Amino acid sequence: MMVMMSVQFQLSSSCLWLPNSPSPPISPLFRTTRFSSSPLAATPTFSSQSPTIQVLRPVQWFPGHIAKAEKELKEQLKLMDVVIEMDLWLGNRKRVLVLNREDMISTADRNAWAEYFTRRGTKVVFSNGQLGMGTMKLGRLAKELAADVNVKRRAKGLLPRPVRAGIVGYPNVGKSSLINRLLKRRMCPAAPRPGVTRDLRWVRFGKDLELLDSPGILPMRISDQSAAIKLAICDDIGERSYDVADVAGILVQMLTKFPKVGRDVLCKRYKIDEDSECGKIFIEKLAIHLFNGDVNHAAYRVLSDFRKGRFGWTALERPPR
Ligand SMILES: Nc1nc2c(ncn2[C@@H]2O[C@H](COP(=O)(O)OP(=O)(O)OP(=O)(O)O)[C@@H](O)[C@H]2O)c(=O)[nH]1
């Protein structure tokens, strides 16, 4: 997710971003605003040669409210000193990258990403929008990054003004939650589904910081279906944008390759015996076994179990070496 201030903040998270590689991690635990073109080693490569992918309905979206929000954000950009992330049209504003939902990844994942960004010299804040961890640091960084705004104003004989930070990122990554935690008030609507924030809203934090909450933004088109599927797995895009059974099938295939999960754990959890390589077949078998043949119901169950951490907290991506 990205927070925009009189400096720009980038919030990468749960949240996914735009086409800069390499990208921050995508996980239900670890939301970023950036898109990734570099799936983790354990992730299937959804290539055009893959028979599994060829039959999938592509993940597609672009609801009207996102188009409207993007247009409004571009207009508001003039007012921002800092952006809490997003690449394409943010210009050269200063940024802070926020990796929210740090509670939803393992310590090893977190350390790997922290080390990766340190190596690249990228300022990154790990946060927890539910408990408020990282929010004070975020506010402090935004103000530090935008300090020159008031230096310039004073030189021109103008009075200082609050630093303006825009928080920008993918849907459902925790942007509004972070703002609410920072303000210690529920100023911005937050709920466990994408698309809750519909309008841009400036809120004041103390006397020297203003924050802009914005609706989650997605690129109009995404050519990297691997990243799109991970967004869907993490519940960062609306369910109407994808086929739930397809996405759950791919998640099953990914989970069977995760060292801490594997096929045995999956079979044991759902009490089914399935050794096919195909995740969709697993979902269909689960549907027959537990859900009266209702494939969508079975698919929701697997996705929901993953999002709740029932297979352990893990990032869907690890940084490139
Ligand atoms: N586990 C966990 N959940 C979080 C965290 N931050 C936010 N959430 C939850 O994620 C859900 C979405 O949070 P929001 O703040 O509404 O997300 P948003 O980015 O503003 O969403 P949009 O309105 O779609 O742009 C809510 O249920 C939050 O409680 C976090 O750090 N950890």
Task: Tell me the pairing of strands 7-8 and 163-167.
Answer: parallel
Q: Looking at residues 10-27, what average pLDDT do you find? A: 35
Burial of 321 (0-12, 13-18, 19+ CB in 10 A): exposed
Cα-to-centroid distance, 297 and ligand 1 (Å): 24
pLDDT at 8 over 50: no
pLDDT single digits (tens) 248-279: 999 999 998 888 888 888 888 998 887 777 88
pLDDT at 303 over 90: yes
Q: Confirm whether the ipTM is greater than 0.90.
A: yes
- Please tell me the distance from the alpha carbon of residue 132 to that of residue 299, in angstroms, as a whole number: 32
Q: Residue 233: its pLDDT value, please?
A: 93
> Which of 145-149, 256-260, 301-305 shows the highest mean pLDDT?
301-305
For residue 320, name the pLDDT band (cuts at 50, 70, 90). Answer: confident
> Ligand 1: does its nearest atom lie under 6 Å from the Cβ of 197?
yes
- Please tell me the distance from the alpha carbon of residue 235 to that of residue 227, in angstroms, as a whole number: 12
User: Is 173 annotated as a binding-site member?
Assistant: yes
Q: Residue 12: its pLDDT value, please?
A: 39
Minimum mean pLDDT range among 7-11, 161-165, 220-224, 230-234? 7-11
For residue 64, name the pLDDT band (cuts at 50, 70, 90). Answer: low
Among 126, 173, 304, the mutation site with the greatest number of ligand 1 atoms within 8 A of its Cβ is: 173
pLDDT at 15 over 50: no
Q: Looking at residues 233-247, what average pLDDT do you find? A: 88
Closest CA to 186 of 232, 194, 178: 178
User: Is 176 annotated as a binding-site member?
Assistant: yes
Residue nearest to atom 7 of ligand 1 (CA): 174
Q: Looking at residues 141-153, what average pLDDT do you find? A: 88
Report the 10 Å Cβ neighbour count for 130.
16
- Token match 């994808």: residue? 242
Cα-to-centroid distance, 132 and ligand 1 (Å): 12
> Which of 64-73, 76-85, 174-183, 269-278 shows the highest mean pLDDT?
174-183
> Ligand 1: does its nearest atom lie under 6 Å from the Cβ of 103?
yes
- Please tell me the distance from the alpha carbon of residue 321 to that of residue 318, in angstroms, as a whole number: 9
Q: Residue 5: its pLDDT value, please?
A: 32
pLDDT single digits (tens) 98-133: 899 999 988 999 999 999 999 988 888 999 999 989
pLDDT at 11 over 70: no
Cα-to-centroid distance, 86 and ligand 1 (Å): 18
Q: Residue 292: its pLDDT value, please?
A: 93
pLDDT single digits (tens) 154-213: 999 999 999 888 888 888 888 889 888 988 878 777 777 776 776 788 888 888 888 888
Q: What mean pLDDT value characterizes the chain?
A: 76
Q: Residue 20: its pLDDT value, please?
A: 31
Residue nearest to atom 1 of ligand 1 (CA): 101
User: Is 109 annotated as a binding-site member?
Assistant: no
For residue 66, name the pLDDT band (cuts at 50, 70, 90). Answer: low
210, β-bridge pairs:
164, 204
Ligand 1 atom closest to 213 (CA):
20
Q: Residue 293: its pLDDT value, please?
A: 94
Inter-residue contact 174 to 31 (CB < 8 Å): yes
> Ligand 1: does its nearest atom lie under 6 Å from the Cβ of 128?
yes
Q: What is the largest CA-CA distance in the chain?
A: 75
> Ligand 1: does its nearest atom lie under 6 Å from the Cβ of 1?
yes
Cα-to-centroid distance, 168 and ligand 1 (Å): 13
Cα-to-centroid distance, 143 and ligand 1 (Å): 24
Q: Residue 59: its pLDDT value, please?
A: 67
Q: What type of residue sits at position 89?
A: W
List, in sequence order, every beta strand (DSSP E) within 12-151.
29-31, 82-84, 94-95, 97-104, 124-126
User: Is 174 annotated as a binding-site member?
Assistant: yes
Closest CA to 59 of 250, 241, 253: 241
Minimum mean pLDDT range among 82-91, 138-147, 216-225, 274-283? 82-91
Backbone angles phi, psi at 103, to 5 degrees: -70, -15
Q: Residue 122: its pLDDT value, please?
A: 84
> Ligand 1: does its nearest atom lie under 6 Å from the Cβ of 180?
no
> Ligand 1: does its nearest atom lie under 6 Å from the Cβ of 176?
yes
